[in-house]
Every structure is written in structure tokens, then in C-alpha cells.
Amino acid sequence: MTTFATGARRAVPRVAATLAVLLALWALWELYRWTWIETGWTWPFPVNDTTLPHLHTIFGALGKHTSAGPLLLTVLLKSAWFTAKEAMLGFAGGAIVGFFLAVALVHSRLMQRAFLPYIVASQTIPILAVAPMVVVWLKAGWQSVAVIAAYLTFFPVAINTLRGLQSAEPRAQELMRSYAASPWEVLWKLRVPASLPYVFTALKISATASVVGAIIGELPSSIQDGLGGAILNFNQYYSLDPASLWATNVIAAALGIAFFVAVVIAEKIVVRRAPVPVA
């Protein structure tokens, strides 16, 4: 009970700070909107109810009924859950591929020189160019969306994990080899624990990237059940109902934040319990 009370007291300043930041951002949004309308400024774009709706209008749209009957919030939450499942599968697949690719590369400088330039080059291709090809190869469907999400996930994980595996203390590696430790033991008892901060940094980046990849992948896949389909649908009626598209973007952002927070929680659990390598 004491622990719970202590945790609650520590959480209060954080919650208060978060609310203060949100209120400040809200105020800045409305101040920007009011200033540009009152002065007639048109740079970088004209401000009106279509280009920049009130925040209360955007959030109010979530509580309105769609033409099909249900609340917009209900529709978007279902779409978000559909996209989340695709993103989670892609995130998991990309993270696994990236991790074991880094493990292979750290044990061979020849492989690093041979494959690392191509791994880097793969990320210079725009995802909008890759997505249609993946859809054609896999005949559309949620599998192609998961592959696109994995494509955006594996690179940060591979590069950061490789850097983390290389960061293990050289003296500790020499000590383990002096005790005839196998490469497998050195990897899992020394290199992997040392790489965890790097791995979770990559996972935080990849978590939000997987959501973006899933949404982008839904567009050429003609999937209407996810957030990509909702964005495409509301984009057609933006001039008549801009708040719905803005509300969809809010839910998409919230989904990305949820993925990020999940990785942060996992990091606190795993890194706290991980063994600390000693040289």
C-alpha cells in the first residue's frame, strides 16, 4: 500500500506536466489560428475553418454520428485496431529480422562490408514506391501491409543492434574468452545485455514507423477496414467535412503513441532485469 501511495505521489507531477503541455499546445493552436485570421496573413497557407479547424471542432467530430449510423470515434477505433494488428505483425517480424541480421553481421566483418551498404541503400527507396510492388507480389491483403510495416522496422533495429553488440566492453570479452566461453555464450551473456539500450532506442523509432508503414500499405492494397482506408475516404470530402480527416489523423497519432509507450514499458521491465556485464 505504501509503495502504491509513493508511486501515485510521483505520478502526480508527471500528469500535471502533461496536462499543462497539452493545454499550452491547445492555446498555441488557437492563438495561431486567431492571429492569422484577424491579420489576414496567408503564409505559409491561408487559415480558415477548412484549412485549420478549431481543436474543439476536431475532437467534437469524434462524438458525431457518421452517415452509416455509428459514432465516428467508434468507426475510427475499429479501424485503428485493424491497422494495429497489421502494424504489430510487421513490427514483430521486422524487429526479429533486424536483430538476427545484426547478430550475423557482428560476427563477420566480411558480411558487414558486403551487406551493410545494401541494407542502407534499401532505406533510400521511398516507401510509396515500394508499397505497390509488395502488394503486387503478395496479391494484396493484410500480409502485404505487414511486410511493408516490417520493411520500415528492420533497418533501425539492425543498425542500432549492431552498434549495441559492438559496444560490449573489450576487457569483458577477453575475460570470457580466457575462460573458454563459446561465441554463443559471449553473445547472450555479454553482447546482448550491453546492446539492450541501443535495441530499445531502435524499437521506439520502429514502433511508430510500423504504424506509418501499415497505414501507407493499406492505400495500394485497397484495404478499407484500416486507418489508411479511413484517411483516403475522408480525404475525398475534406472541403465539406475537414474535421473528420483531422480526427482520423488524431486517432492515427494516438495509435503511434500507444506503440511507443508499449515499448517504453517493455524497456523498463527488461532493462531493469537484464544482467549487468562486468569487465
In the prediction, which pLDDT does 141 show? 77
pLDDT on residue 272: 72
Profile the chain (279 residues) by mean pLDDT over runs of 10 residues. 65 87 95 94 91 94 88 96 96 96 92 91 86 83 90 94 91 83 86 92 95 92 90 92 95 96 93 58
Per-residue model confidence (pLDDT) at position 140: 67
Burial of 202 (0-12, 13-18, 19+ CB in 10 A): buried
Fold entry, domain 53-273: MetI-like fold (1.10.3720)
- The alpha carbon of residue 155 and the mean position of all alpha carbons in its chain are separated, in whole angstroms, by 13
Residues 54-92 as b or e (16 or more Cβ within 10 Å = b): ebeebeebbeeeeeeeeebbebbeebbebbbebbbbbbe
**Rounded Cα gap, residues 232 and 245, in angstroms:** 9
Neighbours of 113 (CB within 10 A): 10
